[in-house]
Structure formats: C-alpha cells, structure tokens
Amino acid sequence: MCGIVGAVDFDAPPEQRRELLQAMTDTMACRGPDAEGLWFGSWAAFGHRRLAVIDPEHGRQPMTASHQGRGATITFAGEIYNFRELRAELTTLGHEFRTACDTEVVLRGYLQWGTALVERLNGMYAFGIWDERAEELLLVRDRMGVKPLYYHPTRAGVRFGSEPKAVLADRSLPRRVGAEGLCEVLDMVRTPEAAVFAGLREVRPGQLVRVGRGGVRRHTYWRLEAREHTDDLPTTITTVRELLADTVERQLVSDVPLGTLLSGGLDSSAVTALAARSGPVRSFSVDFRGAADGFAADAVRQTSDAPFVRDLARHVGADHHEVLLDSPELTDPAVRAAVLRATDLPPAYWGDMWPSLYLFFRAVRQRVTVALSGEAADELFGGYRWFRNPLALRAATFPWLTSGSARYFGGRSLFQQGLLDKLDLDGYRAARYAEALTEVPVLPGEPDTERRMREIGYLNLTRFVQTLLDRKDRMSMAVGLEVRVPFCDHRLVEYVFNVPWTMKSFDGREKSLLRAAVADLLPRSVVERVKTPYPATQDPGYESVLRAGLARLLRDPDAPVLPLLDLDRARSVADRPIGAVSRPYDRGSLELVLWLNSWLAEYEVTLDL
C-alpha cells in the first residue's frame, strides 16, 4: 500500500513544479513510510510514498517501462491479487520483468493491452499512468472503491492524489466549500465523485479518467449489473464458499507480517477461519478496558465481543492479541489531531469510533504490516436491521436514514435552523436518493419485493459501504497499516448481488447465505451470534470531556463554527451535569460540531453558502 500524487501541466515543463510535487508527496508520508520517489516527464510529474508489502527490495516507484516502442510511467497504490497469473501471461507475450512486484505487472499490462488492462485486474488499487506517446494521463480506481483517488482539473492540466490533502498542497487551488459540499458533510448520503471541496472530484469506484490536451474524459469500466440467478440454494451456498475461500487465499500473499482483524462476528470470524486453513494466523481484536466485565447491552449492541473472539481464536488456533483501549485516549488532543489529518474532513459519523479505530490500528501495526478485515459483508449479504425493517424498506430515502437508524449517523440539533433551511438538507437528501435509484440495474420480470431488495442492496454497496471503506482506509494508512477486504472481491460481489433476497434470507436471519457457507468453519457460539457493531465507549466521562470542549469553543469568539450554531441550544448541552449522557443523535451533533470547528480552522476552509 502506498500514497500517490501527480501533476500534469501542458503549458510548462514539470521540472518547474519540483517544489510543488515534493510538497504533495510529503503529505503522503504516513501512507508510505518505507520509501519515496519523484519522476518528471515531458508534461507530467509523479510522486510516490511506499509501504513495501510485495518484493520490498525492489519495486521502487514511480516506475517506467517500455515495450515495442511504447513507453509509460506509473505511480501505483494497492494490491493486485492475480498479478502472478497476469505476469505469466505477459511473459509469454515477450515482456521481461525487472522486479517481482505487482506494480510492474500493471505497468506492462498497460503497455500490452492499453486501458483494457483494467478489466483483467483483481484487487484494490488506485493508480496514475502517463502515456508518453499519447501525452495522456490515465487515472484508475478499483471496482468497489477500497482505495481512494482524488483529482482537481486546472487551467492547463490536473492535480491528483490518494487523499484531498495531496491535491490541496497546491495552494493555488481554493479550499472553498459550497452548499452542496456542506450537505455532504452534514448528511450521510455519500454521493459518488463528490469530494466536498469545490473543484475537487473523487474518481468513482470502477471508473477510468483520462486527462489530455483536450481536457478530462471519464469512463465507467465496471458497474453492478442485474443478471438472472439460476443456481439452486445448495449450489449458491457452495459457490459463495468457494469464491470467499479463493479470495481470502489470494489476499494472504505478502512478503511482510500479516494478520486478521477479529470481532467475534460472523464476517471477521469467517475470514480468520479461512486464513487459518492456509497456515498459522495472527488475529487482533479491540475493546475498552473493563468493558467485558461491565458490559451493558443497548439498542444495537446485545453482547460484548470478547467471549466470541476467544471462542473463535481457540477454535482455529489463532495467535490472538487483544488490544484494550482506555476511554480517555479517545479525547487526547494528539489523537484527535491525527484523525483529522488523516481524514481531511470532519468525521461526521460514529464520532468516537474514528479515534478508537486509529488507536486499534496503531497497536496492530506494531506487530503486522497487513491485516484482513470482514468489512462489506453486511452490505453484501444483508446484515443490517434496515434490510428487514418494513418501515425502512418502504421509506423513500436511504434506509440507514430512517427512524431507528438515522440517530446514529451524525446529528443536526446544534445547528441554526436558518442554516438548515438554507441548505435544504432534506431536499438534498431526496435528490441524491432519487439519483441513486436511477442507477440501479433492472432485471425484467423481477417481482416488486425482489426489485426493492435489489435497490436496497445497491444503495448499501455504492453509498453506505463507501463510508466504512473510507474510515478503514484513512485510519489504517495513517499508521502505515494495509487493510485488505476480501468481501469486496468483485467476483463475489457480482454473484451475491444477483442472488434473490428470498435465498439470501432463507432461514429468516441476517446473512443467512453467508452463515450457511461458513458454518462448518466456526464454533457454534459464533454461528448463532446476532450481529453486533464495532465497540463504542460506554464511559460517560467521554461525553463529559466533549461537552467541556464545546464550552471552550463557545467562549472563543474566533471559533469558525460559531456562526453555524444555535448558540442557546449549544450552551444547554455544554452546561449539562457531569455524567449526564445524551441520546445518540444528540451526541452525534456534539461530536460533529467539535470536528467541524477543528476542520474549518486547520484547513483554512472558506464556506461559500
């Protein structure tokens, strides 16, 4: 895993941009702590920071190669899981390799097949290729958007990078946020290609972007498609098992220490158990100190992770490590500053989970460089309650933003009503929802119920999951940890997306299909466990520290978020007694205000509303 940056200017030699390119590359130091490289071509310049995972001794980037008179240079981030097969094919076609890394396979694949290369890749990736003869930049992002990639067109070219901060290192680009950008911050709609900052765009998952003298052209090389599912239930269960087993095996390839992230839930336990079939496995779980003994069930967390984690670790013989966090660490200013630097945006959802995930990944990184995660299984197999909530299924909006779920994703209660009316958040949400529904592929003759469940699945796989993948990527790469996501393998996604809902839920439970596919690998306690989300602190002292932070903010006349707030309501929250605990939605608003204020200040954001 790495961090990539680049600049194209058709009106000036790139050598004149050396200082800029170095500044852009420096922003990616956390993503690539092992090596740095710069490259300057005719009209393009690339930077690269490397986290060495495959062939650590070689594979330095940016990398240049030529074949039959055609030359190209690449800056690459990610992993290609079928690179060995592609390498063998390219060797038979006359290519001679200098390294054993997947980056050279991608580069030579482009020289051989051009943009058709992307249809052959299995992996998580974001890369830029400069074609010297065509004088054209190619930007490519993986099908599910596991790896991020941003770009900003300029008068004479483009800037691009793995994160917004890389692009914004060009101080000639405005750090301006308009009404739609602020809507993206305040509401959990996660519009593809939207990147909050004016002029900045995110390469959409499954998208290829070309930048040449004629401007920017975008092409979708992969999207979810509706296909008739003809397999019976036993065959479907077997196919899911085979696809997942193959995916996990491919993703175990690494020349550096590797482990798994284990919660004791079905998804991460399946990944860990399959990994254990290939050899000894190290696993890692996270919890708060004392939480296992003093756990109190709530509306979404019925059980503590700890006993299920231990059952699974014993069952597969994992070398397991429990990471125990102290709640006060979550409000450590240094930790919160690191989280904000990693995200480039206010962490608007699951406020305490961002710093806790950062701390967890930081501890994991002390032992391994690569970890496999169970992320995306809930979106793919129907693990969330809204997949089975009739009110959510009938609602004309994103299912996670209906009553019963919306209170856990952000919060508006501390913002001025005048601001909310001006932004028209409800109208923005409705427009984005309608826009998303127009993308959903149609299977002719599909029953209405199945059609609706296909829509729900599509929304989860193209919107909701992206928020989780972003969080995972930013927090892991902030500490130089590569996290792989087997459930985002496009072969598995394509297959399961087209399995009828009646088959996905054949036993009436969440993730019926996945449970049946992996039950024989797991202890009975894990198989029967009801889905439980990532741990959150239950320490009332955490919220007390947040409210104290709000009180300090309200006393600061220069706090940039003040003009956006309902000051009377904010003061009432700040003045609550020590130990008082808000409803989840109110705490979400408290979290958002604090993060938003820090972001506006640190990033010198100009709001253009």
Q: Give pLDDT, residue 585.
A: 46
Q: Give me the residues paired with residue 217 across strands.
A: 210
- What whole-number distance in Å separates Cα of residue 154 and Cα of residue 158? 5
Q: CB of 55 within 8 A of CB of 141? A: no
Q: Give pLDDT, residue 312.
A: 98
- Structure-token match 């997949």, residue found: 387
Q: Give me the residues paired with residue 179 across strands.
A: none
Q: Quick one: DSSP state of residue 424?
A: T
> Which is nearest to 351 in space by CA: 536, 476, 561?
536
Q: What is the pLDDT of residues 345-387, one digit of tens each?
A: 998 777 789 999 999 999 999 999 999 999 999 999 999 999 9
Q: Give pLDDT, residue 566.
A: 96
- What whole-number distance in Å separates Cα of residue 382 and Cα of residue 514? 10
Q: What is the pLDDT of residues 106-163, one digit of tens each?
A: 999 999 999 999 999 999 999 999 999 999 999 999 999 999 999 999 999 999 999 9
Q: What percent of the chain has pLDDT over 70?
A: 96
- What whole-number distance in Å separates Cα of residue 22 and Cα of residue 378? 40
What is the number of other CB atoms lying within 10 angstroms of the CB of residue 528? 13
Phi, psi at 50, each rounded to 5°:
-110, 135
Catalytic annotation, residues: 2
- What whole-number distance in Å separates Cα of residue 604 and Cα of residue 479? 25
Task: Report the length, in residues, of the chain.
Answer: 609
> Which is nearest to 525 in space by CA: 312, 248, 337?
312
- Looking from the CA of 19 toward its CB, the CA atoms found within 13 Å total 2
Residues of the chain short of pLDDT 70, as ranges, are: 1, 291-301, 407-408, 410, 578-586
Cα 140–chain centre separation: 16
> Which is nearest to 164 in space by CA: 127, 124, 191, 194?
194
Q: Give me the residues paired with residue 177 across strands.
A: 197, 607
Q: What is the pLDDT of residues 544-584, one digit of tens each?
A: 999 999 999 999 999 999 999 999 999 999 988 766 665 54
Q: Give pLDDT, residue 54.
A: 73
